[in-house]
Amino acid sequence: MSIRSIILISTLCLSACAGSGKIIIPAETEDTATSDTDTSPTDTGIVDPIDTATTDTSDTVDTEPVEVPITCDFSWTFQAPQDYEFYAIGDTVDATVQLDNLNDYTDFTMRWENRGGEILAESTIDGTGQALYTGTEYSSTKGLHTIYARVVTPQGPCDTRIEKSLSVCNAHILEDFTTESTNWVTRGDAYWDPNGWVEMTGTGQGKNGAVYNKVESIASGVASIRFTLKTGNGMNGGADGFAFTIINVPTTTELENWIAQANSGGGMGYGVGGASGGFTGDALTVEIDTWHNTYNGSNEFHTDPTTNSHIAITKNADPGEHLVYFDTPNVEDFQPHDLRVDIVPSNIKVFYDGSEVINENPQLAFKGGQMFFSGSTGWATNHHIFDNLEIYHDCQ
């Protein structure tokens, strides 16, 4: 009753779709109009053989000017969106393209095209050489879509165009934990805090907790995972850390079993793979690790890649498998920090407090699965708080 978790599945369909569930693409209308325009010269061409030479004159009058693409000795680039930016189906897409510095942009326009070269929209180019697109032509169906931008000069359209990829996703999860939700199940020392977040441990020693979602699972492939984290105010220097994991197991029963087996301390309540336990499947974890572990085989099953506090992506529920990481010396300041992890076809991008800190290709095949938060303390302690979970997935 209190869940804020929303899956925006084909929201557009509520008003725009027939019973088939298919989405009516607004662009189709424009596509048709465009091809109408395009076919008019062809129509005239069909008449030509009948009318023979006498109609040649009217032919040139009737026919719309034939566009001859020209070579443009200037360039233009996308300023927004970023590569593979995430949208739910039907979201407005805003794009900005900047032209090279020219003396005069009078009568220059920008064409926004699809892969096949159809014109989906046109816009002006302002006095600074900037062209703006705002619309839903590229976000009406799920998938990895591409915006193509072609400059049209007073002498004709340029014979090249630039492109930008977008991720349009069928599912968009929003959970702000303002109220206690029956969709989320707490285990161990974790609890929902009436202040409007979930806490994994509290500041006691030897705590270990988890919160998992029993309703929704995450699709494989492209996805964007975002949340707010807050840690600190502990003792003995602060530890151990907390994590958000998507583990590819089919049932919540299995999920429960693995959570119950996960190592505390350096395992941060998710360590069940590799030297940490018997899990051999696929998982992806975003960990916020505030304690440097060194392998000893008895209660420490991996060595961390840095002695500093760090945020890392690990795989297969193995806290020793750091795919990518970055140092976060300030993370235990007990202030909220925003984390965003984009898994796109060519790389993983991580943004910390809005700044890109990782853009690498660790060759990860994201398999999706079931999601849970976890965290633990040891001799040293901290609060381990998560809030404002947002996930775009099911984008391919």
Residues of this chain that interact with Ca ion (CB under 5 A) are 266, 289, 291, 293, 304
What's the min distance (Å) between Cβ of 211 and Ca ion? 20
What's the min distance (Å) between Cβ of 256 and Ca ion? 24
* Token pair belonging to 223: 């996805």
Residue with tokens 């907790």: 209
**How far, in Å, are 94, 245, 297 from residue 273 at the CA level?**
42, 12, 14
Residue with smaller CB distance to Ca ion, 266 or 369: 266
Q: How many CB atoms lie within 10 A of CB 251?
A: 9
Measured in degrees and rounded to the nearest 5, phi and psi for residue 297 equal 80, -10
What's the min distance (Å) between Cβ of 269 and Ca ion? 12
Kindly report each contact of residues 12-19 with a partner whose C-beta sits within 8 Å and lies 24 or more positions away, as own/partner: 12/89, 12/90, 12/140
Reported as half-sphere exposure (CB side, CA atoms, 13 A), residue 129 has a value of: 13
Residue with smaller CB distance to Ca ion, 151 or 268: 268
Residue with smaller CB distance to Ca ion, 113 or 304: 304
* Token pair belonging to 227: 């949340």
What's the min distance (Å) between Cβ of 310 and Ca ion? 6
* Token pair belonging to 142: 């799920």
Residue with smaller CB distance to Ca ion, 111 or 302: 302
**Using CB atoms, what's the residue nearest to Ca ion?**
289
Residue with smaller CB distance to Ca ion, 276 or 293: 293
CB 311 within 8 Å of CB 286: yes
Residue with smaller CB distance to Ca ion, 282 or 289: 289
What's the min distance (Å) between Cβ of 242 and Ca ion? 11
What's the min distance (Å) between Cβ of 207 and Ca ion? 15
**How far, in Å, are 125, 154, 251 from residue 108 at the CA level?**
6, 6, 57
Task: Find the angle CA(374)-CA(378)-CA(380) to the nearest 5 degrees.
Answer: 110
Residue with smaller CB distance to Ca ion, 213 or 293: 293
**How far, in Å, are 56, 61, 66, 202, 361 from residue 50 at the CA level?**
11, 17, 22, 87, 61
What's the min distance (Å) between Cβ of 156 and Ca ion? 57
